[in-house]
Amino acid sequence: MADLLLELFSEEIPARMQAGAARDLERLVVGALTDRGLLFEAAKAFYGPRRLTLVINGLPIRQPDVSEELKGPKVDAPAAAIEGFLKKSGLTREQLTVQETPKGKVYLAVIKRDGRPTADVLSEVLPECMAKLPWPKSMRWPQKSNQPVRWVRPLHSILCTLDGEIVPFTFAGIGSSNRTRGHRFLSSGFITASRFEDYARKLREAHVVLDAEERKAIIFEGVKSAAFVHGLEMIPDEGLLDEVAGLNEWPVVLIGAIEDQFMDVPAEILQTSMRTHQKYFSLRDPKTGKFANRFAVVANMVAEDGGKTIVAGNERVLRARLSDAKFFWDQDRKTKLEDRVAALGGIVFHAKLGTQLERVERIEALAGEIAEKIGADMKKAKRAARLAKADLTTGVVGEFPELQGVMGRYYALNDGEDAEVADAVRDHYKPQGPNDRVPSDKVAIAVALADKFDIISTFFAVDERPTGSGDPFALRRAALGIIRILLDNRISLLLQPLIAFGRRSLRRSSATAALKYRDEAVPYVLEEGDTSFKKFEILWLNKWGPIGDRLPTHEEILEAVLFAIPDTEPVIFVSVRNVSEDGFAPIYEVPGRLVADETQRSSVLVLSKDDTIAFFADRLKVALREKGTRHDLIDAVFSLGNEDDLVRLVARVEALQVFLKSDDGANLLVGYKRAANILKIEEKKDDQRFDEPVSLLLCTEPAEEALANALYNALPIINDAIDKENFAAAMREMSALRAPVDAFFDKVKVNADDKAVRANRLNLLGSLRATLHQVADFSKIEG
């Protein structure tokens, strides 16, 4: 058994790429070895600023020998065939064996292949693996090789040994060796190492901690204990810890001071500035939680003066940084948030969706609607929505976009806004991720929901959906946010009207935009250079038909936009038709997006079909999967089409899940599937649906009549229970159907000879189907 040690030593690798590269290296090498029959005991990859290291323990020193059997022609086959087989197998006739088969005697070639030494295989596959390593960004540099390769930064040396011996190969013009280097400043010359233990020890002596996890622990403990000395504690920051561990080979924690003049700047600004620009850890008082006037910086250096110069330098840089931040903070407070709202009209939110101001106006209106529905203070909700995006025009948020909302709250309080309004300004972005807090104050909930419903409904309306590969506008996160807000706060709200609201606002604002430019030349511009359009007709779906071969008036357009189409239809609110001289010409539908000319003068908008509800269903499945909720049950309830109150929907799904786990539930599902199958076949045969009322007079069998009665009795009770949102009771009632259904299938032949009896029995099954569908679409349930 032998151990492989591989180290790729380069110039500084970006911190964010190191862990991924180590994983990829391990995956590629392990894959290549396994493919070649080289199995091993353990593999581990390490990473740091200047090196990727891979250790594979317990490799065999040779590949296993393999023997392969090759079936040949019959013994009495023509000579040419046998010659061909010899050629193919590389054996002589004497080396062939003869095998008895049902077809007679045939030749068999047993080809033995000796396994190659592992070192040879490694020499071959390692350069291939390195060439395949997928860096997010890679570069060329001058190489002593005819076939230059790409790497993240120039590669300087390759250490590669197997069982202590160098594995010879060349990559990027660099020959492998057993040498490497230590810390850039705290060591000099080369280190020679052939085995991992030796390598790790010598690196440590040369001031390199190989394992990023160990570096993280050193930093974490170091910051903790250095803070403790000052009576402080570290504000945990996992992401920063990862990054800093990628910037150091020999982390040394130092503590610096923040000048008092900055301490009345909000802590979030100080922390973000220190984190983003300087990679400093922030500290706080463990008793009060108050942000401390000290920071922790992690140097990659044991300086001769104990770090005094380094701390002084860092304090100096921080002073300049915080002066900038303080300047913005002071400047920003000179203008009220309210007075910043108008400036949002100059910021494009999205080319198809207009400015931030238009967005704010939509959110404001929607927040008012929602506030009314959930019993929040409507005035406050609208006020908070109005101010929600105003901080985007401030200096601090310009510098640190991640402080949006947080700064809005500070400025709102500074302006003397209501505290609840200020909190809602901050919280309307929440929850930002699975670990973020969900707003619980009603005003904040109203604005947070309005913001999210607006973004989802409008982006869907202009056909900017998330795709498999990307979700640039974070619509999935918004949908999950809505789901969490509704479920965590147990708020009953119908989704569809809120989605419709966003679409309606969008149409209203684009119509208004069109009206605003009424005196400009052409109100509508088509995208594809349609110079042939001399005359226009306007058509809209609820007033189908041309209005005449003239340019439509703005009032007509506005009417079309505002009152055109039910929201769930595929919405094409305006089509422009070319009336050519020879009479009829095809209808050109404007592409499904807002089209505006360079001066933003005119617009035509076609909203795409609303499939937002299906999107929510998908998100809900993701959200509930972790709780162990079955996705098919969510589909079954969603596809009824009448349930888009998430709280109720989840209660229904949960009741259904419990029901199906019961004996009665499982059996009833079997009965349902049987009924549905029979109906499917017979309905196809007869080309009709069996959903007529059942006639008791036509029931000839007791089991048949029993089922009819059971259904007749159950239906009102089930409906009543559902109306009262008592799903457990509805399920209980369905349980009672199990016995009559089982008895029916046991005793009754559905396809009776008498036509009327047969139809009645099929109607009876149809009635069972309809009854169960009151609760969920059972056909979507798996199993």
For another protein, the closer of residues 161 and 314 by Cβ is: 314
d(CA 761, CA 708): 9
**Residue 139 engages another protein in binding (rule: CB under 8 A):** yes
**Residue 12 engages another protein in binding (rule: CB under 8 A):** yes
Interacting residues of 384 by C-beta distance below 8 A, sequence separation 6+: 367, 420, 421, 422, 424, 425, 428, 443, 444, 446, 447
**Residue 257 engages another protein in binding (rule: CB under 8 A):** no
Least distance CB 143 / another protein (angstroms): 9
**Residue 299 engages another protein in binding (rule: CB under 8 A):** yes
d(CA 438, CA 67): 63
**Residue 319 engages another protein in binding (rule: CB under 8 A):** yes
Residues 334-373 that bind another protein (CB under 8 A): 348
**Residue 136 engages another protein in binding (rule: CB under 8 A):** no
For another protein, the closer of residues 90 and 148 by Cβ is: 148
| Span interacting with another protein, options 136-144, 189-197, 630-638, 674-682, rule CB under 8 A | 136-144
Cα 159 to Cα 155, 622, 763: the distances in Å are 12, 45, 79
For another protein, the closer of residues 152 and 748 by Cβ is: 152
Question: Computed from CA positions of residues 520, 524, 530, 536, in that sequence, does the dihedral angle turn out positive or negative?
Answer: negative
**Residue 156 engages another protein in binding (rule: CB under 8 A):** yes
**Residue 142 engages another protein in binding (rule: CB under 8 A):** yes
Between 528 and 557, how does the x/- string for binding to another protein read (CB under 8 A)? ------------------------------
Rg (CA), the chain: 36
Residues 586-605 that bind another protein (CB under 8 A): 598
**Residue 395 engages another protein in binding (rule: CB under 8 A):** no
Q: Please identify which residue in the block is written with the tokens 């404001």.
A: 364
Least distance CB 9 / another protein (angstroms): 13
3-state secondary structure 173-228: CEEEECEEECCCCCCCCEEECCCHHHHHHHHHHCCCCCCHHHHHHHHHHHHHHHHH
**Residue 16 engages another protein in binding (rule: CB under 8 A):** yes
The pairing of strands 174-177 and 155-162 is: parallel
Find the binder of another protein among 2, 15, 526, 656 (CB under 8 A): 15
**Residue 122 engages another protein in binding (rule: CB under 8 A):** no
**Residue 303 engages another protein in binding (rule: CB under 8 A):** yes
Question: Computed from CA positions of residues 660, 663, 664, 670, in that sequence, does the dihedral angle turn out positive or negative?
Answer: positive
For another protein, the closer of residues 9 and 712 by Cβ is: 9
Find the binder of another protein among 94, 100, 264, 304 (CB under 8 A): 304
**Residue 137 engages another protein in binding (rule: CB under 8 A):** yes
For another protein, the closer of residues 253 and 660 by Cβ is: 253
Half-sphere exposure of 613 (CA within 13 A, CB side): 23
Q: Site size for another protein, by CB under 8 A?
A: 41
| Span interacting with another protein, options 13-21, 27-35, 385-393, 690-698, rule CB under 8 A | 13-21
Between 261 and 280, how does the x/- string for binding to another protein read (CB under 8 A)? -----------------x-x
d(CA 466, CA 402): 22
For another protein, the closer of residues 144 and 490 by Cβ is: 144
d(CA 253, CA 242): 15
Interacting residues of 684 by C-beta distance below 8 A, sequence separation 6+: none
**Residue 297 engages another protein in binding (rule: CB under 8 A):** yes
For another protein, the closer of residues 247 and 617 by Cβ is: 247
Contact predicate 368/377, CB 8 Å: no
**Residue 314 engages another protein in binding (rule: CB under 8 A):** yes
What phi and psi, each to the nearest 5 degrees, are found at residue 312?
-60, -40
Least distance CB 599 / another protein (angstroms): 10
SS3 438: coil
For another protein, the closer of residues 142 and 628 by Cβ is: 142
For another protein, the closer of residues 298 and 461 by Cβ is: 298
**Residue 76 engages another protein in binding (rule: CB under 8 A):** no
Cα 116 to Cα 37, 209, 603: the distances in Å are 10, 36, 71
Residues 157-196 that bind another protein (CB under 8 A): 184-185
SS3 539: strand
Contact predicate 151/10, CB 8 Å: yes
**Residue 398 engages another protein in binding (rule: CB under 8 A):** no
Contact predicate 238/232, CB 8 Å: no
d(CA 665, CA 328): 64
**Residue 580 engages another protein in binding (rule: CB under 8 A):** no
Using alpha carbons, select from 773, 705, 699, 763 the residue that is nearest to residue 734: 773
Q: Which residues lie near another protein (CB under 8 A)?
A: 11-12, 14-16, 49, 137-142, 152-154, 156, 184-185, 247, 278, 280, 297, 299-301, 303-305, 309-310, 312-314, 316-320, 323, 348, 598
